Amino acid sequence: MDYAETIGAHYIDGNWVEDSDHSQNINPSNTEDIIGRFARGDAGRVDQAVVAAAEAQPGWADASPQIRHDVLEKAGALIMTRKDELGRLLAREEGKTLAEAVGETIRAAQIFKFFAGEALRNLGDAVASVRPGVDVMMEREAVGIIGLITPWNFPIAIPA
């Protein structure tokens, strides 16, 4: 399914989920240019997405650092290979210049690639204890499922 077919749906649990409530997406640089329509999710749709994310989370948590790296690296690579197409869509949707929109798309790819590298780093600290014979080790753990409300003017880079 391509972008034009899915603009009126939510991507939840690996599937496009149609919704009956839509709004028009209008090009702010040319208000006669209706880009398409987008699905307006309600609280029930958000709950559906959160449940799907919670069900997927243990698999991601159990994935090796190499698997996490590979997934994030691939996401960055895919965005980079489509930077011109995504940049054109972004410019049309946000009213940005094409150069700025392509630049933001490249930045999103770079963010994914950066965090791919971070997935391979072993993080943790050993600190001195105030008690003799006691070792203090700190290990970082993911917080789990989160929701993001991101700025409208950087729709690719900030969520990346």
Query: In terms of CATH architecture, what is 64-160?
Result: 3-Layer(aba) Sandwich (3.40)
pLDDT, tens only, 115-146: 999 999 877 788 888 999 898 988 877 788 88
25-55 pLDDT per residue, tens? 888 988 888 888 888 889 999 999 999 999 9
Give 92-105 pLDDT, tens digit per residue.
Answer: 989 899 999 999 99
Percent of the chain with pLDDT over 70: 96
The helix (run of H) or strand (run of E) holding residue 37 is strand 34-39
Amino acid identity of residue 92, one-letter, is: R
Residue intervals of the chain classified under CATH 3.40.605.10 are 64-160
The tokens for 140 are 């970082």
The dihedral through the CA atoms of 66, 69, 74, 75 has a sign that is: positive
β-sheet bridge partners, residue 37: 24
